[in-house]
Amino acid sequence: MPGLAKTIKGLWSLIVGLGVTGVEFFRPQLTVHYPRKEVDNLATYRGHIDLVARDDDPLTPRCIVCRKCVAACPSGCIAIESRLVGAEPGGDARELSLAPGLIVTGSHAAPPPRQKIRREVAAFHLNYNLCSLCGLCVQTCPVQSLAFSREAYLCGSSRADFEFELLERLRRRAPAGGQRAA
């Protein structure tokens, strides 16, 4: 009687199922009653991105303004404003210059040594309204200047509340009296 055996097996499976839910009924609950309690496993939480400060200077981000994150972002959340540091006032620092070793035809001396110019973040805008939290910007950053924040309880009542200036956030986050390292 294979049919009967199958039926008995099926009936037994019903009892097993009741056992499973019955045991779950008496096990402790997993819900965290939010306003009264908060979760403590935020270490791996992926909130919106934040700038990471340089090791030697809590006020300056590691960012080298390569704009790879801007290119990588599929939603166009990120906009970076930069300024050039070390440029002579009035001069165009982006002017093409020859390698210092070369001597230009018709001149008798090497050009003046090239000034060390670097770009610096002037403003780092994040429009979190558009972000899909894919994390491509964090993966792409060559100097690990971007990291996920742990703002699990972020809330706001307008779109403007989710447009962040990350540089300001970094400066606000810096330890009190954090001076630019010498």
Partner 1 sequence: MTMTEIISHPLTKLVLGLVLILVFVGVNGLILVWMERKVVGFIQRRPGPYEVGPHGILQSLVDGVKLIAKQLVTPRGADRFLFWLAPMLSVTPVVICFLPIPFSPGLTAMDVNLGLLLILAFSGINVLALCAAGWGSNNKYALIGAARAVSQSVAYEIPLLLSVLCIAFQTGSLSLSAVAEGQSRGLLSWNLWVQPLAFVIFFISATAETNRAPFDLPEAESELTAGFHTEYSGMGFGLFFLAEYTYMIVVCSVATALFLGAHDGPFLPGPWWFVLKVYALILALMWFRWTFPRVRFDQLLNLCWKWLIPLGLANLLATALVLKLGE
Interaction site with partner 1 (CB under 8 A): 7, 14, 17-18, 20-22, 24-31, 33
Whole-angstrom distance, CA of residue 115 vs CA of residue 167: 26
| Comparison of 32 and 42: residue with beta carbon closer to partner 1 | 32
What DSSP line would sit under 48-65, residue for residue?
A: SEEE-EETTEEEEES---
Contacts of 48 (CB under 8 A, 6+ apart): 126, 128, 131, 133, 148, 149, 151, 154, 162, 164
Q: Toward partner 1, which CB reaches closer, 34 or 176?
A: 34
The sign one gets for the Cα dihedral 90, 96, 102, 103 is: negative
Q: Which is nearer to partner 1, 25 or 144 (CB)?
A: 25
Which C-beta is closer to partner 1: that of 7 or that of 132? 7
- The Cα 110–Cα 99 span in angstroms is 10
Q: Which is nearer to partner 1, 30 or 160 (CB)?
A: 30
Indicate the residue among 30 and 109 with the shorter CB distance to partner 1: 30
- In whole angstroms, the minimum distance from the beta carbon of 62 to partner 1 comes to 43
Question: Could you tell me the smallest distance in angstroms from the CB atom of residue 43 to partner 1?
Answer: 23
Structure tokens at 120: 């610096």
At its nearest, how many Å lie between partner 1 and the CB of residue 17? 5
Q: Minimum Å distance from CB 14 to partner 1?
A: 7
Tokens of 50: 């934040």
Nearest CA-CA partner of 64 in 137, 123, 121: 121
146: nearest Cα among 75, 81, 57, 66:
66
**Least distance from partner 1 to the Cβ atom of residue 31, Å:** 5
Provide the minimum distance between the beta carbon of 60 and partner 1 in the complex, in angstroms, as a whole number.
Answer: 46
